[in-house]
Amino acid sequence: MANTNSHSSQIRIVLVRPRNPLNIGAAARAMLNFGFDDLVVVAPYDLVWRESKAAAGAKQVLQLARAVDHLQESIQDCTFVIGTSSLSRRHVNMPVLGIEKFGELRGELEGRAAILFGSEKTGLSNADLSYCHVTARIPTGLECPSMNLGQAVAVCCYELRRVLGAGQKIEVPALGSQRATIAEIDRLSHAIADLAKGAHANGRQREGSRAIDLRRILLRWPITHEEVASLLGVIRDIEWQLKEQKRR
């Protein structure tokens, strides 16, 4: 399916553990309504989700959608990730903004960006949100804070289209260096966690939580591809020196 504008292939919609095929179909239709076509479904509950009858006019979006088993696979090439949450059951240690402020993210959205939507039953988990640079919230009423998945995708896609414009290219000043992808940041956080594990006897018990904490910290910085490569080089040097000391 041909892209309808310059931004449709830059914004990825990711549905994490969706349970209802009708909601997946409704999300696909909402995407096409506003000119987006990059859909990834993570660990869908129903194996026949591609046959959803709610995707009227948007069957191609479903047929071209990628299905992956793990969240990391869906965003590893992205340089900016937005998580969505009503925050009624989550306390997040990261910037939170209403979707009406997506305009503040125009420069970030010009790169490869993804917006995550969680399961209808549980939303995004804290582990899911640890891969996000910011959390976005739709300003709903307190008496009913959560929205239907398909409706939430529609509202966010509308706001993204309003910010990005209908096919207009947004000029963003060149930073000189490319922001690190999620895969690169994940690799760096695990490398640091592994280094700490080697330095402490109880490292194995805390390795997983330490990597998550490090990823959250790194996502707060506009760290670049080149900086990740430099830091990985430093870590390799430290690991080599530690091995040499053990041999003596």
Would you list the DSSP string of the chain? Answer: ---SSTTTTTEEEEEES---HHHHHHHHHHHHHTT--EEEEES-S-TTGGG-TT-TT-HHHHHH-EEESSHHHHHTT-SEEEEE---SS---SS-EEEGGGGGGGHHHHTSSEEEEE-BTTTBS-HHHHTT-SEEEE----TTS----HHHHHHHHHHHHHHHH-SSPPPP----SSPBPPHHHHHHHHHHHHHHHHHHSTTHHHHHHHHHHHHHHHHHTTT-BHHHHHHHHHHHHHHHHHHHHHHH-
pLDDT at position 171: 41
What value does the mean pLDDT of the chain take?
A: 81
What is the share, in percent, of the chain residues with pLDDT greater than 70?
Answer: 81
CA distances 230 to 143, 193, 227, Å, are 49, 17, 5
pLDDT at 9 over 60: no
Q: State residue 145's pLDDT score.
A: 76
- pTM of the predicted structure, to 2 decimals: 0.78
Q: Mean of the pLDDT values across residues 52-79?
A: 84
Rounded average pLDDT over 20-42: 92
Tell me, what's the pLDDT at 169?
42
Round to whole Å and give the CA distance between 227 and 221: 11
Q: Distance between CA 209 and CA 23 in Å, rounded?
A: 32
Q: Report pLDDT digits (tens) over 182-223.
A: 999 988 988 888 887 765 545 454 556 777 888 888 888 888
pLDDT, position 174: 44
Backbone φ, ψ for residue 208 (5° rounding): -65, -50
